[in-house]
């Protein structure tokens, strides 16, 4: 299973963390520090796997962002690379050629998408189209709720004038 | 934007934080935001909650504490609207984990949401439950989740399936509830549901054997069909990845088939065709295809023996290994480690390639390859592989040397064909990576060197040469110092030249230079310095011509900052200075170290248990002492790094290392005042003129006690050591030491040369009769002591009808052999001997005691004498 997902920028800034195994706050920051140190310092042509504390960390760099997933020793590393790519493609489709800034200002969107892709550290959907559809349906629900709320507040605002 | 809300928007806060130039500035912004959010939380205004939580999540990601937002998550989850719930669940998963008590409060909301009419709300709840549920929550909500596996919408079914995997991981007891539901998911057409269903089944199989059996009988064929369909399916743009239809599903199906086939020949048989098809038909030019092939190979190697498939699998791995992509090579190495268990030959074929991988610039690949090479080594290829690895050791990165040298040492020790080769290889490793070599490795090297007597000269010369070049390799220096100390004379005189060596000219002073360098170098650690000091003392006797210079070096150490060094320097100086006559025997060459004992000890199965180690017969021949094993093993403790931290006990080892005998004898002196007879035994033990095991326990304890005395007043101790010694101290250590203790034992030298294990005693002496006991042990039977009683008539009249009777307490068994005669001639002109066998059932705990009665006729008159013997040597 995937124990955690990390998105780290080239400057070492954390852009997204998702923990599927319990880690305390302290452990989390230690893990992030340790791994970003190792990953950011690896040369460009090396393999995408790091053996770390009895686990394996699979990472891949997309532009200025490193996507890392920590898996069990017996898991399929190559598949995890595909999962990362899968996620990136969905992000790309959602934001329209995604960049780091999109993920900073809309970090919650990145989380929502990840939640449609992984649950309990396992893949739940292999179709990019399905994920996109579910996300947009939920976004729609939010929009509708917002409009309702603003129309109500307009009515209140007018009434109190 | 909500007109009632105050404070900054999320976007503005992120901008403000990003605009910060320094960490301090960022902290200030975050602190201000957190204060605002706290204030708003206290106002409890539902309008801002949504935004506050979003801000908190961002702050949380930056690593700041956000626990005060946890309750906000719960409130948002409990609110009716979807947007609130959506962000509330996100915050819940981000800010909390399963170990927080607060999480229990959300159980009820989760339960309601799992039954919500809006399927997206149900989806949110399932997602949160799947990601962070604790065991209690899993138990409480399992029925809801189980029901949702049958939900009408596939997107809920797949979420429920993964949520179930989390539940059964947390509470394996619940597994059986999910078996039927999971089996129904395997018939689905929707890929998401199928993927998660297969995952759930896999999880169930690994947790529950009944589930495994169920799926094996009911689902194997269906799964194979699904895999076949998907492998043969036409192009499906929705699921296509690099020309393969849904590699994720492929991989999960293969993984489930693996557990079903493992340990079941029938199931394995069913799946051979499809596995062969996947293995041959999958495109391997893209990562997705290789991922599927990799999984397929793993399944082939796990299921029951199908040889043709395995050949196929090994071939795939061979192709992987020669791939240019590092990722593919990495997984190939990984898989070959598993393959080696059933097809060593096939893996051996790739040996050269694997060796190349050890030299790869990529640390992950190097590590894998190194582990694999270690598995590949056998008697036939060890020399070649070791050569390759050692060659590489010279040029490898510093941070890789530790792993590499450890593995080389392991290989060399395990498969070494001969000692010369072993020593050669170890020296090379020490030269290249001496800094990284672990203590037990170089200890083992010293033991081996000590045992290879014909290689002593060669080794010490080789070490001398290497240490000149590689003086910064700590462990090399230590081994060299030890060997030069022991075999310095062989170094100087080119003794024992092997054909392969070039003769070298080393003067005595060159050898001392090396030691001096080791002891004076500022970065030598305390262990090395201590060893160097001992070596100097030894050399002072080996090289009498320059002993003045050696003495000067020792004297300099009197000023050492390390207390231990200071003290030893003073003591050694005193030995060099004042005790020339015993020095040569004190610093005699170390007896051969016992390899078997060392290995046992190294393996840790007998942590320094002395009593198991002694050899039954240890004898004194031609002045070559065979010391008992225990103190020798202790010698190796000398090297433990805490030598300075615990001066008193390690001091024991220290001295024993140096002198072997000296320390013990001084302790015997102390012991002697209280227990004269026991003192004799101790001395014998320490001189090891034959030492059966039990006595050593007492030796070591008394030794430690008296060390305290020595430490308190070392000079007195040394004086005591020598003061009783008569001026004509003999040169062999045995007699020399006995002379020191003259008067304690009745006839030591004679007995000592005969080599009995225990000193004889005078068991009884009256005006007319003297009885002496001598002792010996039957090898292999420590409890039984053979006692030879010798009766001597001190009176001027002959005894007739002489009869000796003896009685012992219950824990002893006594057997009397017939006496040699029953007539005892007058005035000691003849003696009767009689053999007794005493078996001590509490040997080691209680000493022998004996009552005896002697009857004889003196001038026709019956005489009866009685006595008790309680001065038996200890440990019989």
Nearby residues of A7 by Cβ (< 8 Å), 6 or more positions away: A14, A15, A16, A17, A65, A66, A67, A68, A103, A110
Q: Has residue B495 been placed in a domain?
A: yes
Would you state the pLDDT for residue B751?
39
Q: Return the CATH number at B503.
A: 1.25.10
Residue B621 is classified by DSSP as: B
**What tokens were used for B860?**
């026709």
Would you state the pLDDT for residue B757?
64
How close, in Å, is residue B191 to chain A by CA atoms? Answer: 7
Which residue intervals of B434-562 are DSSP H helices?
A: 439-451, 456-469, 474-493, 508-520, 526-542, 547-556
Domain endpoint, select from B537, B570, B601: B601
* Average pLDDT for B708-717: 40
Would you state the pLDDT for residue B589?
76
Q: Has residue B784 been placed in a domain?
A: yes
Contact A16 B61 (CB under 8 A): yes
List CB contacts (< 8 A) between B199 and chain A. Answer: 122-123
* Average pLDDT for B847-870: 83
Least confident of A35-44, A106-115, B502-511, B733-742: B733-742
Residue B696 pLDDT exceeds 70? no
Contact B195 A125 (CB under 8 A): yes
Residue B123 pLDDT exceeds 70? yes
Would you state the pLDDT for residue A60?
92
Q: Has residue B130 been placed in a domain?
A: no
* Average pLDDT for B153-176: 90
Residue B744 pLDDT exceeds 80? no
Residue B477 pLDDT exceeds 50? yes
Higher pLDDT, B386 or B60: B60
Contact A120 B163 (CB under 8 A): yes
Residue B810 is classified by DSSP as: T
Least Cα distance to B297 among B274, B270, B317, B268 occurs for: B317
Q: Has residue B162 been placed in a domain?
A: no
Q: How confident is the model at residue B650 (pLDDT cuts 50, 70, 90)?
A: very low
Would you state the pLDDT for residue A114?
93
Structure ipTM: 0.93
Would you state the pLDDT for residue A70?
94
Strand partners, B814: B838
B658 near B571, Cβ under 8 Å?
no
Nearby residues of A149 by Cβ (< 8 Å), 6 or more positions away: B2
Residue of A nearest to B335 (CA): A74
Contact A119 B248 (CB under 8 A): no
Tokens 């956000």 sit at which residue? Answer: B66
Mean pLDDT of all residues in chain B?
75
Taking only the tens place, the pLDDT of each residue in A18-77 is 999 988 888 888 999 999 988 998 888 888 898 888 899 999 999 889 999 999 988 899
Higher pLDDT, B347 or B109: B109
3-state secondary structure chain A: CEEEEEEEECCCCEEEEEECCCCCHHHHHHHHHHHHHHHHCCCCCCCCEEEECCEEEEEEEECCEEEEEEECCCCCHHHHHHHHHHHHHHHHHHHCCCCHHHHHHCHHHHHHHHHHHEECCEECCCCHHHHHHHHHHHHHHHHHHHHHHHHHHHHHHHHHC
List CB contacts (< 8 A) between A7 and chain B. Answer: none
Least Cα distance to B446 among B410, B482, B474 occurs for: B482
How close, in Å, is residue A44 to chain B by CA atoms? Answer: 10
* Average pLDDT for B83-87: 89
Rounded-to-10 torsion of CA B224, B225, B231, B233: -170
CA distances B502 to B419, B491, B498, B499, Å, are: 20, 13, 9, 8
* Average pLDDT for B49-77: 86
Distance CA B789, CA B774 (A): 7
What are phi and psi for residue B265, nearest 5 degrees? -65, -40
Task: State the residue range of the domain holding B788.
Answer: 758-869
Distance CA A58, CA A69 (A): 5
Please tell me the total count of domains within chain B: 2
Residue B146 pLDDT exceeds 50? yes
B485 near B539, Cβ under 8 Å?
yes
Interface probe, candidates B155, B329, B371, chain A, greatest A C-beta count within 10 A: B155
B87 touches chain A (CB under 8 A): yes
How close, in Å, is residue A91 to chain B by CA atoms? Answer: 16
B96 touches chain A (CB under 8 A): no
b/e string for B364-388 if b means 16 or more Cβ within 10 A? bbbbbbbbbbbebbeeeebeebbeb
**What tokens were used for B69?**
């937002």
Residue of A nearest to B91 (CA): A108
How close, in Å, is residue A99 to chain B by CA atoms? Answer: 16
Q: How many CB atoms lie within 10 A of CB B229?
A: 11
**What tokens were used for B714?**
């070392």
Taking only the tens place, the pLDDT of each residue in B285-340 is 888 888 998 999 888 888 887 778 888 888 888 888 888 888 888 888 888 888 88
**What tokens were used for B514?**
């090396």
Domain endpoint, select from B601, B635, B660: B601
Q: Domains of chain A by range and CATH?
A: 2-126 (3.30.450.60)
Q: Has residue B547 been placed in a domain?
A: yes
Residue B272 pLDDT exceeds 80? yes
SS3 B580: helix
What are phi and psi for residue A15, nearest 5 degrees? -110, -25
Taking only the tens place, the pLDDT of each residue in B408-428 is 888 887 887 788 888 888 888
Least confident of B54-68, B323-337, B481-495, B719-733: B719-733
Least confident of B480-484, B536-540, B696-700: B696-700
Interface probe, candidates A4, A79, A86, A153, chain B, greatest B C-beta count within 10 A: A79
Q: Has residue B220 been placed in a domain?
A: no
Residue B48 pLDDT exceeds 80? no
Taking only the tens place, the pLDDT of each residue in A122-154 is 999 989 999 999 999 999 988 888 888 888 888
Domain endpoint, select from B601, B628, B655: B601
Q: How confident is the model at residue B760 (pLDDT cuts 50, 70, 90)?
A: confident
CA distances B361 to B77, B326, B400, Å, are: 51, 10, 11
Higher pLDDT, A63 or B826: A63
B166 near B129, Cβ under 8 Å?
yes
Q: Has residue B496 been placed in a domain?
A: yes
Q: Has residue B13 been placed in a domain?
A: no
Would you state the pLDDT for residue B604?
60
Tokens 């989850």 sit at which residue? Answer: B77
Taking only the tens place, the pLDDT of each residue in B566-599 is 888 888 888 877 777 777 777 777 777 777 777 7
Residues of chain B with pLDDT > 70, as a percent, come to 81
Q: Return the CATH number at B783.
A: 2.60.40.1230
């Amino acid at each position: 299973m995937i124990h955690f997902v990390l998105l780290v920028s080239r400057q070492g800034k954390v852009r997204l963390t998702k923990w599927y195994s319990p880690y305390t706050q302290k452990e989390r920051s230690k893990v992030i520090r340790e791994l970003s140190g190792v990953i950011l310092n690896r040369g460009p042509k090396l393999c995408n796997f790091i053996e770390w504390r009895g686990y394996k960390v699979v990472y891949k760099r997309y532009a200025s962002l490193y996507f890392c997933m920590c898996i069990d020793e017996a898991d399929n590393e190559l598949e995890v690379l595909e999962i990362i790519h899968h996620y990136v493609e969905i992000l790309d489709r959602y934001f329209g050629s995604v960049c780091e800034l999109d993920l900073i200002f809309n970090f919650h969107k990145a989380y929502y998408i990840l939640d449609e892709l992984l649950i309990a550290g396992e893949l739940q959907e292999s179709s990019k189209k399905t994920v996109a559809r579910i996300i947009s349906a939920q976004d729609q629900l939010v929009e509708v709720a917002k409009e309702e709320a603003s129309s109500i507040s307009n009515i209140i605002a007018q009434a109190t004038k | 934007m909500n007109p009632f809300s105050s404070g900054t928007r999320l976007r503005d806060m992120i901008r403000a934080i990003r605009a910060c130039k320094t960490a301090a500035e960022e902290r200030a912004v975050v602190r201000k935001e957190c204060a605002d959010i706290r204030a708003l939380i206290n106002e409890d205004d539902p309008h801002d909650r949504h935004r506050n939580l979003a801000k908190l999540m961002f702050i949380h990601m930056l690593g700041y504490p956000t626990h005060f937002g946890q309750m906000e998550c719960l409130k948002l989850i409990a609110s009716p609207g979807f947007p609130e719930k959506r962000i509330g669940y996100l915050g819940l998963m981000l800010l909390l984990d399963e170990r927080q008590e607060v999480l229990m409060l959300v159980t009820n909301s989760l339960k309601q949401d799992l039954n919500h009419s809006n399927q997206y709300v149900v989806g949110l709840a399932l997602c949160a439950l799947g990601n962070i549920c604790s065991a209690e929550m899993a138990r409480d909500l399992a029925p809801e989740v189980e029901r949702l596996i049958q939900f009408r919408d596939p997107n809920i079914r797949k979420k429920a399936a993964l949520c179930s995997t989390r539940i059964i991981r947390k509470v394996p007891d619940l597994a059986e509830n999910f078996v039927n539901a999971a089996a129904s998911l395997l018939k689905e057409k929707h890929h998401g549901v199928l993927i998660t269903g297969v995952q759930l089944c896999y999880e169930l199989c690994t947790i529950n054997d009944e589930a495994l059996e169920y799926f094996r009988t009911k689902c194997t064929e269906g799964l194979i069909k699904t895999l076949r369909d998907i492998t043969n399916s036409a192009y499906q743009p929705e699921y296509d990845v690099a020309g393969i239809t849904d590699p994720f599903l492929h991989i999960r199906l293969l993984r489930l088939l693996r557990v079903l086939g493992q340990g079941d020949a029938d199931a394995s048989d069913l799946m051979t065709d499809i596995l062969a098809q996947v293995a041959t038909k999958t495109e391997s030019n893209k990562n997705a295809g290789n991922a599927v092939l990799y999984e397929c190979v793993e399944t082939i190697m796990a299921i029951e023996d199908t040889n043709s498939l395995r050949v196929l699998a090994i071939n795939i791995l061979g192709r992987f290994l020669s791939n240019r992509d590092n990722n593919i090579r990495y997984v190939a190495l990984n898989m070959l480690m598993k393959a080696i268990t059933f097809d060593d030959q096939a893996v051996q074929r790739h040996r050269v390639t694997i060796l190349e991988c050890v030299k790869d610039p990529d640390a992950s690949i190097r590590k894998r390859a190194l582990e694999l090479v270690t598995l590949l080594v056998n008697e036939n290829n060890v020399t070649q592989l070791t050569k390759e690895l050692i060659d590489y050791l010279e040029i490898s990165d510093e941070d890789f040397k530790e792993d590499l040298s450890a593995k080389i040492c392991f290989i060399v020790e395990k498969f070494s064909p001969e000692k010369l080769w072993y020593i050669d290889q170890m020296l090379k490793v020490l030269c290249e990576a001496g800094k990284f070599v672990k203590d037990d490795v170089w200890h083992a090297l010293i033991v081996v060197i000590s045992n290879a007597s014909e290689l002593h000269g060669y080794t010490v010369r080789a070490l001398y040469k290497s240490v000149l070049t590689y003086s910064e390799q700590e462990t090399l220096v230590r081994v060299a110092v030890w060997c030069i100390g022991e075999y310095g004379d062989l170094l100087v005189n080119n003794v024992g030249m092997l054909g392969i060596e070039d003769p070298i000219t080393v003067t005595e002073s060159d050898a001392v230079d090396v030691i001096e360098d080791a002891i004076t170098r500022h970065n030598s650690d305390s262990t090395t310095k201590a060893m160097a000091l001992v070596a100097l003392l030894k050399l002072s006797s080996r090289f009498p011509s320059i002993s003045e210079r050696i003495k000067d070096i020792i004297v300099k150490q009197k000023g050492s900052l390390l207390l231990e060094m200071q003290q030893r320097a003073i003591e050694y100086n005193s030995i060099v200075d004042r005790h020339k006559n015993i020095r040569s025997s004190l610093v005699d060459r170390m007896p051969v170290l016992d390899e078997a004992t060392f290995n046992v000890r190294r393996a840790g199965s007998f942590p320094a248990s002395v009593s198991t180690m002694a050899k039954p017969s240890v004898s004194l021949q031609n002045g070559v002492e065979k010391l008992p094993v225990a103190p020798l093993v202790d010698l190796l403790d000398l090297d433990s790094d805490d030598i300075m931290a615990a001066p008193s006990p390690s001091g024991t080892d220290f001295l024993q290392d140096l002198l072997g005998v000296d320390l013990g004898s001084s302790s015997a002196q102390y012991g002697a005042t209280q227990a004269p007879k026991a003192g004799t035994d101790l001395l014998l033990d320490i001189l090891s003129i034959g030492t059966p095991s039990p006595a050593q326990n007492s030796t070591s304890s008394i030794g430690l006690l008296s060390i305290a005395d020595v430490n308190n007043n070392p000079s007195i101790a040394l004086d005591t050591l020598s003061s009783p010694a008569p001026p004509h101290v003999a040169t062999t250590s045995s007699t020399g030491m006995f002379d020191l203790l003259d008067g304690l034992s009745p006839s030591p030298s004679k007995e000592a040369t005969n080599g009995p294990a225990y000193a004889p005693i005078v068991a009884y002496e009256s005006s007319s009769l003297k009885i002496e006991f001598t002792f010996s042990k039957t090898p292999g039977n420590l409890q039984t002591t053979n006692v030879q009683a010798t009766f001597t008539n001190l009176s001027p009249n002959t005894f007739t009808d002489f009869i000796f009777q003896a009685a012992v307490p219950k824990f002893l068994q006594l057997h009397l052999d017939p006496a040699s005669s029953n007539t005892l001639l007058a005035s000691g002109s003849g003696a009767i001997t009689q053999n007794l066998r005493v078996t001590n059932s509490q040997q080691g705990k209680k000493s022998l005691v004996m009552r005896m009665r002697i009857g004889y006729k003196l001038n026709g008159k019956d005489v009866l004498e009685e006595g008790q013997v309680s001065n038996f040597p200890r440990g019989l």
